[in-house]
Structure 1
């Protein structure tokens, strides 16, 4: 967790750490809580592919992940959400607390997030949300692909 905060503090990007009064588990809950467009909520998912685990940061406005698009992007046959145990093993974080930054896996980022000045997503800490410029996703992570 300190690693994520260190990355952010040294990034040059404007960000805010928001301590939530309640747990937020879904993009809709996040949008309602922060009173923002659901597309500004950026869930961080871990996916298993035939070429290893990847971090997928998507816009909450997407509704679901098109795994065919991810398969095509990565040129691999098998793509699925990682299990709870796989997420913990691959990232050190539990499902629902995976941060948008600081994971040593390759990232795939949803370009729809760039439509906003700020996005809201995980920090790796219970009941804490990160509000940040979406461009930071591309500068602070090892992005290997984007979703249109």
Structure 2
């Protein structure tokens, strides 16, 4: 795939859209409860890394899929919205920053029976690295920094480090 960049550091609209859509397609698969191996392969490079908010890395398609399947099983529903995407091109690689707001609705088993709420909302910032491959753009790394959270938590707080 040949770059449509006009000058060094300038990104074409097609490349910018393709890179942003990696994040959009990934979280659409999660929100639509259709995250599977094909969805992970369509977004991440084979050795791609997902870094959770505690800094724990999950490398490779299988580990990413296992982690996310386990993580999102505790929710009845999720809704992720990203925006303010900043994409910077560096040859055949790119960096992206995007803001995120997400709603998570706990399963009945994961809810606190004494709480009037059964969901939480959080906001944060995604940082991603992407590489142009023979299959198109793929994420080589995706991390999330949570900056705020509001709503009901599970009976015990999530231990992101334990989810390694």
> What's the TM-score bracket when you normalise by the shorter of the two chains?
under 0.3
With normalisation by structure 2, the TM-score equals: 0.23
With normalisation by structure 1, the TM-score equals: 0.25
Larger strand share, 1 or 2: 2
Larger helix share, 1 or 2: 1
**Greater Cα radius of gyration, structure 1 or 2:** 2
Q: Which has the higher contact order (CA 8 A, sep 6+)?
A: 1
